[in-house]
A = this chain, B = another copy of it.
């Protein structure tokens, strides 16, 4: 699977941990660095403290006009100037997953403006969502953001706006790991 990745937490890696906290729910063990590697079977990465797997999958809520606008404005991961990153693993409650598709879509966008809020921070904040609920992982999503150090402030604003939405009432576990790139590649 070319689109399946693992976030490997340990002592070495491309991304050095700046800060790591549990926003709600149980924390993960502290690590000093994170590597992001494509998942091949069997896993071949060196021993780590933890690893979280996710997959870049199809969109679940975005409608055509939103997909078009996102693609027009967003930039890819790996921009040289984007030396800061955030890994925010999220688990939503059973109450969320028991909702029908139209109910989840209504909370996600009509009430919480999730896509619209994200658009306000493009292209400064590059994003990638990895799904992992169906993989039997401890989280439902691994959300990954990359931005330049001078955009750290606007990134805080993005995160803060999302956490105040009605959608976030359904978040029962959320970690927040801030990182900076250790290498020049």
Asked whether any CB of chain B lies closer than 8 Å to the CB of A156, the reply is no
CB contacts (< 8 Å) of A63 on chain B: these are: 100-103
CB proximity of A95 to chain B, nearest CB, Å: 12
CB contacts (< 8 Å) of A60 on chain B: these are: 60, 101
Asked whether any CB of chain B lies closer than 8 Å to the CB of A43, the reply is no
CB contacts (< 8 Å) of A1 on chain B: these are: 136
Q: Which of A99-116 contact B (CB under 8 A)?
A: 100-103, 105
Asked whether any CB of chain B lies closer than 8 Å to the CB of A119, the reply is no
CB contacts (< 8 Å) of A105 on chain B: these are: 101
Name A62's contact: one of B61, B101, B134 (CB within 8 Å): B101
Asked whether any CB of chain B lies closer than 8 Å to the CB of A64, the reply is yes
CB pair B102 A64 closer than 8 Å: yes
CB contacts (< 8 Å) of A61 on chain B: these are: 101
Of all chain B residues, the one with the shortest Cβ separation from A96 is B58
Asked whether any CB of chain B lies closer than 8 Å to the CB of A67, the reply is yes
Name A4's contact: one of B59, B101, B136 (CB within 8 Å): B136
Q: State the CA gap A22–B1 with chains docked (Å).
A: 24
Of all chain B residues, the one with the shortest Cβ separation from A131 is B134
Q: Which of A64, A67, A97, A134 has the most CB of B within 10 A?
A: A134
CB pair B134 A100 closer than 8 Å: no
Asked whether any CB of chain B lies closer than 8 Å to the CB of A173, the reply is no
A-B CB contact pairs (8 Å), 22 listed: A1-B136, A55-B134, A55-B136, A57-B133, A57-B134, A58-B97, A58-B98, A58-B133, A59-B100, A60-B60, A61-B101, A62-B100, A62-B101, A63-B100, A63-B101, A63-B103, A64-B103, A66-B100, A67-B100, A131-B134, A134-B134, A135-B135
Give the top 6 A-B pairs by smallest Cβ distance, nearest first.
A63-B102, A1-B136, A64-B100, A58-B97, A67-B100, A134-B134
